Amino acid sequence: MLPASVKATISTDYPQGKIKKAEKITRGTTTEFEIKVVTGKEKTEVVLDSAGKVIKTEKVGAKDEKDEEDED
């Protein structure tokens, strides 16, 4: 379950977004939440602390898996 502060930040920053995946990551005494948000065709990965502060955002490409075999 996500803290209210994390949900509030996602709702504010991505009002049309839908949370597709949420993961709680604990490293020592630090807890972060990695959220995958989809807005239309755009996918974004957002990392927040437990207070809802955004630590990192990264656009995630649509399917780029075609480069596996690139032989002639």
Name residues whose C-beta falls within 8 Å of residue 13's C-beta, 6 or more positions apart in sequence: 46, 54
Q: How far is CA 8 from the centre of its chain?
A: 14
- Are 14 and 36 spatial neighbours (Cβ–Cβ below 8 Å)? no
Structural domain 4-61, CATH architecture? Roll (3.10)
What CA dihedral angle connects 5, 33, 47 and 40, to 10 degrees?
Answer: -80
Which stretch of DSSP H or E encloses residue 11?
helix 4-13
Instruction: Supply the pTM of this predicted model.
Output: 0.79
Domain definitions of the chain by residue range: 4-61
Give the per-residue pLDDT at 1: 83
Q: Model confidence at 69, in pLDDT bands (50, 70, 90)? A: very low
